[in-house]
């Protein structure tokens, strides 16, 4: 495919973030900060917002409140409709899709989407209590499988299948750390070397501490508007949401997927043409009317350095087993053929679960506008994101200009 078609009617009018870190305050404060920045960026008054969609977090013994109405109340009740989305790490993309759908249906003109989180120290873990039908709880109780253990399994798979090395994984961190130096919203803004990564503690072999993202506090927000509203705001050549993929897996799943403990059997039903992660990007490309060859910049879910390499192939940005070659050739850095994570990625931000898919959209909006000072991908017109939420939540957003 070539060119960009996509569905018209949804414009990214404004984006905003709260810097990520460990601030020790309520997620509501972070979300309000990001929302106000997005509204100011769009030139839209809070009173004119007719829909608020909040990204919720459900973890660590509290329900995360009812995020849509929580943010609406904190900003000051204005009569807007509200909705709340929860899809683990895909929450932000699902929230964006909810807002986009209402705009396309003619039920909303100006929508504010907000995701924010206050995270615990250390590994993310399920709430207390026994839930024997919950695979996320079972992986901790039965196997003691924290997230980094899954990341390590995926990393070992790359090493066995494609000859990836620990130095390759470290090079991903080096690249993203360099990108993040120019990002005021990033938590970690320090250059590192391959030697620094390899000298950091081994968390789950073959991954070191600097190969794995932290948990963070932070927030991101976007203002989505209809074509008619964009015209009233005088937005010429705006950034548009061309696609949002929220696909689920297809049986059988022949590749292990967190938090599952095993794969499906292919004895009776053959494995499909695509893996689940491959289907996420494929659905987004199909809806946008483009192919991976049209993508200028990508923001992907680098929970670990090795996972960034997997996502490059899952999104079709290169063939299977070629991600390391592109990395080594400098093609995934700013100035290369397909820059990946020019924001610095989760390597520089850490996880703030309901916010991270929205944060990726913020970065791509800045890139496509030419406003990513110090980390700009020159001439970027098409960007793609990738996330994945537990329990079969796919997440990919295509932005075009």
Active site (catalytic) residues: 89
Omega before 252 cis (within 30°)? yes
Alpha carbons 179 and 111: distance in angstroms, whole number: 31
Omega before 206 cis (within 30°)? yes
For 234, left (φ over 0), alpha (ψ -120 to 50), or beta? left
Alpha carbons 116 and 125: distance in angstroms, whole number: 18
Alpha carbons 46 and 274: distance in angstroms, whole number: 43
Tell me the torsion sign for CA atoms 171, 172, 174, 179: positive
Contacts of 378 (CB under 8 A, 6+ apart): none
Contacts of 56 (CB under 8 A, 6+ apart): 63, 64, 65, 66, 67, 84, 85, 86, 91, 354
Give the SS3 label for residue 359: helix
Sole residue written with tokens 């406003």? 371
Q: State the maximum Cα–Cα separation within the chain, in Å, rounded to a whole number.
A: 58
> Token pair for residue 16?
């905003």
Alpha carbons 112 and 164: distance in angstroms, whole number: 42
């Amino acid at each position: 495919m070539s060119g960009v078609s996509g569905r018209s009617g949804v414009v990214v009018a404004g984006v905003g973030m709260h810097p990520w870190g460990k601030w020790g305050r309520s997620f509501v404060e972070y979300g309000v900060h990001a929302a106000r920045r997005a509204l100011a960026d769009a030139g839209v008054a809070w009173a004119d917002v007719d829909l608020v969609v909040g990204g919720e977090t459900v973890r660590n013994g509290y329900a995360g409140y009812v995020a849509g109405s929580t943010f609406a109340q904190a900003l000051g009740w204005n009569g807007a409709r509200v909705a709340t989305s929860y899809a683990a790490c895909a929450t932000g993309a699902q929230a964006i899709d909810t807002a986009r759908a209402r705009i396309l249906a003619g039920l909303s003109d100006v929508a504010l989407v907000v995701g924010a989180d206050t995270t615990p120290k250390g590994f993310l873990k399920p709430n207390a209590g026994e839930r024997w039908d919950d695979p996320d709880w079972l992986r901790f109780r039965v196997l003691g499988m924290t997230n980094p253990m899954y990341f390590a399994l995926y990393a070992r798979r790359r090493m066995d299948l494609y000859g990836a090395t620990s130095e390759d994984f470290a090079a991903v961190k080096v690249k993203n750390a360099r990108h993040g130096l120019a990002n005021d919203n990033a938590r970690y803004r320090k250059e590192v070397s391959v030697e620094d990564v390899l000298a950091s503690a081994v968390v789950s072999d073959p991954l070191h501490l600097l190969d794995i993202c932290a948990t963070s506090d932070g927030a991101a927000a976007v203002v989505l508007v209809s074509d008619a509203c964009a015209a009233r705001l005088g937005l010429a050549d705006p950034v548009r949401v061309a696609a949002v993929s929220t696909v689920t897996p297809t049986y059988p799943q022949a590749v292990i997927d967190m938090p599952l403990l095993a794969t499906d059997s292919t004895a009776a039903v053959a494995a499909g043409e695509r893996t689940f992660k491959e289907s996420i990007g494929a659905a987004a490309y199909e809806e946008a009317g483009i192919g991976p060859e049209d993508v200028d910049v990508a923001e992907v879910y680098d929970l670990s350095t090795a996972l960034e390499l997997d996502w490059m192939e899952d999104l079709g940005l290169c063939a299977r087993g070629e991600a390391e070659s592109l990395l080594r050739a400098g093609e995934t850095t700013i100035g290369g053929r397909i820059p990946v994570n020019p924001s610095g990625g989760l390597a520089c931000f850490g996880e703030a679960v309901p916010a991270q898919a929205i944060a990726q959209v913020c970065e791509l909006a800045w890139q496509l506008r030419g406003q990513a000072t110090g980390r700009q991908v020159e001439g970027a017109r098409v960007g793609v994101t990738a996330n994945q939420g537990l329990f079969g939540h796919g997440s990919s957003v295509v932005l075009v200009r």
